[in-house]
Homo-oligomer: A and B are copies of this chain.
Amino acid sequence: MSTQNLKEAGLKVTLPRLRVLEVLEASEHRHLSAEEVYKRLIEADSEVGLATVYRVLTQFESAGLVSRRHFDGGQALFELNDDDDHSHIVCVKTGHVEEFNDPIIEQRLLEISEELGYTMNDHTIVVYGERNKVKTGKAGR
C-alpha cells in the first residue's frame, strides 16, 4: 500500500503524492520523465499540476524513494528505487534503456574510490551503444 511508503518516508499522505507513487509503481522498471508522469496522471483523470509532479518527485528523491537520472542532459528521468542498484545501458538510436548489474565492477569502484581517498556514496554507470538487431529465433519482435 502506497500510503505506508509515504508515511515511512516521513511525507504527509496527500492525493497527489499517492497518485504519483501509483504511476511510478504501475510502470516499474521504466524510466519516466516528470512530464510523462504528468501525462499519465491526466489520462487517469487525476488532476495534478505539473509543478506538483516536480515537487513530489523531488521529495521522493530526497526521501530515497526514487532516483533522478540525466542520461542526456535534457530532461531528467525518474525511477523507483528498488532493492538492487543497477547501471544503465542506453540505445543511442532509440533511447531504449535497460538495466544491468555487475558485482565485479561494483567491487572495483569501491577499491578505486578508496585508493583515491574517497568514501563512495553512489555512482552512475551509463553505457551508450547501439542495440543490435535481435536475432529472431522464429518470431521477431
Choose, from A5-13, A42-50, A52-60, A96-104, the stretch at the interface.
A96-104
* A123 contacts chain B at the CB level, 8 A cutoff: yes
Instruction: Give chain B residues whose Cβ lies under 8 Å from the Cβ of A68.
Output: 73
Do B102 and A108 touch across chains, with their CB atoms under 8 A apart?
yes
* A15 contacts chain B at the CB level, 8 A cutoff: no
- Return the CB mask of A116-130 against B: 1 if under 8 Å, else 0: 111111111111111
Query: How many chain A residues touch B (Cβ–Cβ < 8 Å)?
Result: 35
Contacting A120 at CB < 8 Å: which of B72, B124, B127?
Answer: B127
* A91 contacts chain B at the CB level, 8 A cutoff: yes
Contacting A76 at CB < 8 Å: which of B73, B76, B102, B132?
Answer: B73
Do B112 and A129 touch across chains, with their CB atoms under 8 A apart?
no
8 contacts between A and B (CB under 8 A): A105-B108, A105-B109, A118-B129, A119-B130, A120-B128, A121-B128, A123-B126, A123-B127
Q: A92-B121, A125-B125 are in contact. List 19 more A-B contacts (CB 8 A).
A: A68-B73, A70-B73, A73-B73, A89-B112, A89-B116, A100-B116, A102-B108, A105-B105, A118-B130, A118-B131, A119-B130, A120-B127, A121-B129, A122-B127, A123-B125, A123-B127, A124-B124, A124-B125, A124-B126
